[in-house]
Homo-oligomer: A and B are copies of this chain.
Amino acid sequence: MEKEYTYTLEIKVRDYECDAQGIVNNANYQHYFEYARHEFLEYAGCPFAEIRKMGIEPVVARIEIDYKSPLHGGEKCLCRLNAKREGIKFVFYEDIYRMGDGRLCTSAKVTTVCLRDGRPVKGDELAGKLGQYLTE
């Protein structure tokens, strides 16, 4: 059975994102994952800029990325994600699949925390807004 996701973003690899090894540089996947999270937030009705205007600064506390198969210039991929609330943390599970062969290229678990005045807060406002878009 296929894995289910709350949100999917299509991304096409740009040539400048590849390095001398001819494949997407590792750090750029982190850009893709951030881009997908921010697009998801917009889709869910709370764009990143709006969250910051509420006085909440979401920050990444930890990221784990597994690199399974490299992407090349011009290839299209799908970045698919689920968001869960775990204690005061918002955790994003993100997978990138190459569109050509459906292969899983990269997986990430991104743990984020909301700060207010530099201190971690529970983020109930954000959770309230995300509501149905949070996975159990």
State the A residues within 8 Å of B (CB).
14-16, 18-22, 25-28, 30-31, 34-35, 38, 42, 47-49, 52, 57, 59-67, 70, 73-74
Q: Is the CB of A63 within 8 A of B64?
A: yes
**In the bound complex, do residue A70 and residue B62 qualify as a contact, i.e. CB atoms below 8 Å apart?**
no
Question: Which residue of the partner chain, among B25, B48, B59, B74, contacts A49 with CB atoms under 8 Å?
Answer: B74
Shortest distance from the beta carbon of A67 to any chain B beta carbon, whole Å: 6
Taking a contact as CB atoms under 8 Å apart, the answer to whether B15 and A34 are in contact is: yes
Cα separation A59 to B27 with both chains bound (whole Å): 12
For A27, give the chain B residue with the smallest CB separation: B30
Q: Which of B20, B66, B73 contacts A62 (CB 8 A)?
A: B66
Complex: how many Å from CA A48 to CA B19?
13
Residues of the B chain whose Cβ atoms lie less than 8 Å from the Cβ of A67: 59-63
Please judge, given known A-B contacts A26-B30, A30-B27, A64-B63, whether A19 and B18 are in contact too, CB under 8 Å. Answer: yes
A sample of 21 cross-chain residue pairs with beta-carbon separation below 8 angstroms, ordered by A number, consists of A14-B35, A15-B34, A16-B27, A16-B31, A16-B34, A16-B35, A18-B20, A20-B20, A21-B52, A25-B34, A26-B34, A27-B31, A27-B34, A38-B74, A42-B74, A47-B74, A49-B73, A49-B74, A63-B63, A63-B64, A63-B67
